Amino acid sequence: MSGGKLATIGGVVLASTGGIGLIAGCGESSTAGTQAAAAESTDLPWPYEKFTAADIDRAQAIAHDSWFEGFCTYAVLSGIITVLKEKVGGPYERFPIEAFNFAHGGTAGWGATCGTLIGAGIAASLATGSKGGEEITNEVIRFYSDTELPIYVPDDPKAQISAVSKSGTPVCHISVNKWMAKQGVGFLSAEQMERCGRLSADVARKTVELINSHVDGTFKVLEKAPAFSLGTPAQTNCSACHGDNVPPVPTPGGGESLIGGH
């Protein structure tokens, strides 16, 4: 293509040499044309290379530090995507992480789903496709809900914290308030921010471990999502909010499971 002009039409690179246009797919330019089209493709899944133990450590450190730049969703995505930019490049280099900052604080501060889990789902979907993304997110949420967090201890903590807590739910409001009550601090304290930074690192690790196993073919759905096991979308711990009087769900379960039902 040296000396020729390059034009992009419909995402396919056309090489023009001295007035005669060579259209990708005809003759010698086809390989270059195919490669260019493949490099530009944004179809899922995107190319993925398994993270080594060192890659995971690096993703965790970036996730923790990035929390202080763009909060939880941005933190998890930064940790994973930054390493993928280096290892794989391609479409990850043009991925606009900042487009997902809004999901912090349980979506723009409304205390709904913890933003780390949104980041986990996006990264898992990019690396394994939309079905894999949903399956992996289901497992990440179970880990998040059932585990005393945070686990990660950074080299450069921004505050000293000691409390760990089990959220029992993916809900930001419950998760962060349970932890703050245990640590005895309020929202936007240095301690709470440090906790959410460490939590982002924990979620980044779990997500990458599950993406690795998905790519290996060893990933297993351990439990269906509540929507399919309980017959209603839920955070599983009905009695946490309803006490002993859990209202019966309007329609009994039995819908086809999108997760684990195949």
Interface with ligand HEC, residue 82, by CB under 6 A:
no
Interface with ligand HEC, residue 94, by CB under 6 A:
no
- Of 141-149, 156-164, 202-210, 240-248, the segment contacting ligand HEC by CB under 6 A is 240-248
132 contacts 45 by C-beta, under 8 angstroms = yes
Of residues 154 through 213, those in contact with ligand HEC by CB under 6 A are: 171
Q: Is 135 exposed, middle or buried (0-12, 13-18, 19+ CB in 10 A)?
A: buried
Interface with ligand HEC, residue 56, by CB under 6 A:
no
Closest CA to 78 of 108, 43, 107, 120: 120
Interface with ligand HEC, residue 242, by CB under 6 A:
yes
CA 59 vs. chain centroid, Å, equals 12
To which residue do tokens 């711990």 refer?
A: 237
First-last CA distance in the chain: 48
Interface with ligand HEC, residue 222, by CB under 6 A:
no
Interface with ligand HEC, residue 246, by CB under 6 A:
yes
Instruction: Tell which one of 234, 257, 258, 260 touches ligand HEC (CB under 6 A).
Output: 234
Handedness of CA 82, 206, 241, 245 (dihedral sign): positive
Interface with ligand HEC, residue 253, by CB under 6 A:
no
Closest CA to 68 of 192, 185, 206: 192
CA 115 vs. chain centroid, Å, equals 9
Interface with ligand HEC, residue 78, by CB under 6 A:
no
Distance CA(83)–CA(80), nearest Å, equals 6
Interface with ligand HEC, residue 232, by CB under 6 A:
yes
Build a one-symbol-per-residue string for 123-162: x at contacts with ligand HEC by CB under 6 A, - elsewhere.
----------------------------------------
- Of 34-42, 138-146, 209-217, 245-253, the segment contacting ligand HEC by CB under 6 A is 245-253
Q: Would you tell me which residues interact with ligand HEC (CB under 6 A)?
A: 171, 230, 232, 234-235, 237-238, 240-242, 246-247, 249-250
